[in-house]
């Protein structure tokens, strides 16, 4: 018997994923990586209190998680000084992005992003038939003016903008972001991805204002809180915008383990401060290693450092391939001219030492290919 046909839209899409996971690469190589420095995870791990909370919750995992994430939403509301109804908890920012696109983007609807920005958002837009319009980076920063102008030109439903940015690690001040918010076209929703904001300098994030209906801010426990595998993120916005999630979300998508771990992580401010200092030290060391090898580290407000390899994308891909062959998992931007760089996540001293040891040979082999 034949199966039913895919929808025309699904039939038109490639069977692909935005990122090839390190586990896939390890299976292909037949060995594990020596240093896992490509996925912007916190190799320093979560708060010990969060680990203890998740271990306790594991014994209760026979129960579904609270479908309202009530305790976590109320704790986040108190933490940020906003109302609980302005917060939606979801399966990481990736899951929330998919829900937002599903809610607002129909086939052919215009969506604006930066060329080379976070590809998972683009994946969701393609999956719901939206029409992506991209603007280039300005230098190594996303360009708010160009994003606003393009959204106005095409009548965009959504703008995706990350601050701090992945993959470059760059950031704009709160004043620049607020000016962008103030100039949004009518009927356009800004998705402000602030996944790395806990690691950014003071003055990066504008004040939270949940009275406006055209901004949706995304936060996560994956980065500074070190819980990427638990899949806990949240959106902050106007109550009417947040209520829209209830129309399409997976009400039992949040595990009991993840909710309890996030609650404990949020309360452990001392651990967050420790991680912020540890990440800053790791960024400095990665920068020193880059400069010692004749490369240029870019300023970063994240838990990774983007390193300018000094040539084109082909050279940077050769450096990356050589590092991967040496057991060092790193990634790089996809789009020129940012693809002249590789991107190295912060890591433990042992992991960064492994990167330091492998980099000279990786560069030498890449230079040989230039001859």
d(CA 155, CA 83): 31
Do residues 114 and 168 make contact, with C-beta atoms less than 8 angstroms apart?
A: no
Q: What is the pLDDT of residues 109-129, one digit of tens each?
A: 999 999 999 999 999 999 999
d(CA 277, CA 292): 23
Triad 37, 43, 44: Cα angle to 5°: 145
Fold type of domain 8-45+270-370? 3.90.1150
d(CA 68, CA 48): 26
- Would you state the structure tokens that stand for residue 118, as one six-digit string? 């976070």
Q: State the pairing for strand pair 110-114/215-220.
A: unpaired
* pLDDT value at residue 2: 87
DSSP count for the chain of H helices, then E strands: 13, 12
Overall residue count recorded for the chain in this entry: 371
Residues 179, 185, 187, 191, Cα dihedral to 10°: -40
Q: Where in the chain is the domain with CATH 3.90.1150.10?
A: 8-45+270-370
Q: Where in the chain is the domain with CATH 3.40.640.10?
A: 59-268
Which secondary structure element, helix H or strand E, spans residue 244, and what is its range? none
Q: What is the pLDDT of residues 245-268, one digit of tens each?
A: 999 999 999 999 999 999 999 999
Is the pLDDT score of 219 beyond 80? Answer: yes
d(CA 197, CA 341): 22
Among left, alpha and beta (phi > 0; psi -120 to 50; other), residue 231 is: left
Q: What is the pTM of this model?
A: 0.96
Q: What is the pLDDT of residues 118-159, one digit of tens each?
A: 999 999 999 999 999 999 999 999 999 999 999 999 999 999
Write down the CATH number for the domain with range 59-268: 3.40.640.10
Among the listed residues 177, 135, 182, 127, the one whose alpha carbon sits nearest the alpha carbon of residue 156: 135
């Amino acid at each position: 018997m034949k199966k039913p046909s895919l929808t025309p839209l699904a039939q038109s899409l490639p069977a692909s994923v935005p990122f090839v996971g390190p586990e896939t690469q390890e299976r292909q190589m037949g060995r594990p990586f020596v240093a896992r420095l490509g996925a912007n995870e916190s190799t320093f791990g979560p708060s010990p209190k969060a680990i203890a909370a998740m271990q306790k919750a594991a014994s209760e995992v026979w129960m579904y998680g609270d479908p309202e994430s009530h305790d976590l939403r109320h704790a986040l509301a108190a933490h940020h000084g906003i109302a609980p109804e302005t917060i939606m908890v979801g399966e990481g920012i990736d899951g929330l992005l998919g829900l937002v696109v599903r809610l607002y983007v129909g086939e052919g609807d215009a969506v604006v992003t930066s060329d080379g920005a976070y590809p998972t958002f683009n994946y969701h837009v393609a999956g719901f038939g939206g029409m992506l319009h991209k603007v280039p980076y300005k230098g190594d920063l996303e360009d708010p003016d160009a994003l606003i102008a393009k959204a106005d030109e095409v009548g965009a439903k959504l703008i995706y903008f990350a601050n701090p940015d992945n993959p470059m690690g760059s950031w704009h001040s709160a004043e620049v972001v607020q000016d962008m918010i103030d100039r949004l076209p009518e009927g356009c929703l800004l998705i402000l991805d602030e996944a790395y904001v806990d690691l950014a300098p003071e003055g990066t994030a504008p004040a939270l204002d949940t009275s406006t209906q055209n901004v949706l801010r995304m936060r996560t426990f994956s980065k500074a809180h070190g819980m990427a595998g638990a899949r806990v993120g949240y959106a902050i916005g106007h109550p009417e915008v947040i209520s829209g999630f209830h129309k399409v979300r997976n009400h039992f998508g949040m595990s009991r383990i993840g909710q309890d771990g996030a609650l404990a992580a949020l309360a452990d401010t001392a651990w967050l401060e420790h991680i912020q200092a540890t990440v800053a030290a790791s960024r400095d060391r990665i920068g020193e290693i880059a400069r010692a090898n004749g490369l240029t580290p870019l300023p970063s407000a994240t838990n990774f450092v983007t390193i300018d390899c000094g040539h084109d994308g082909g050279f940077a891909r050769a450096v990356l391939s050589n590092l991967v062959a040496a057991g060092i998992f790193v990634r790089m931007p996809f789009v020129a001219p940012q693809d002249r760089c590789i991107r190295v996540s912060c890591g433990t001293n042992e992991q960064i030492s492994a990167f330091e040891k492998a980099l000279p040979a990786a560069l030498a082999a890449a230079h040989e290919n230039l001859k």
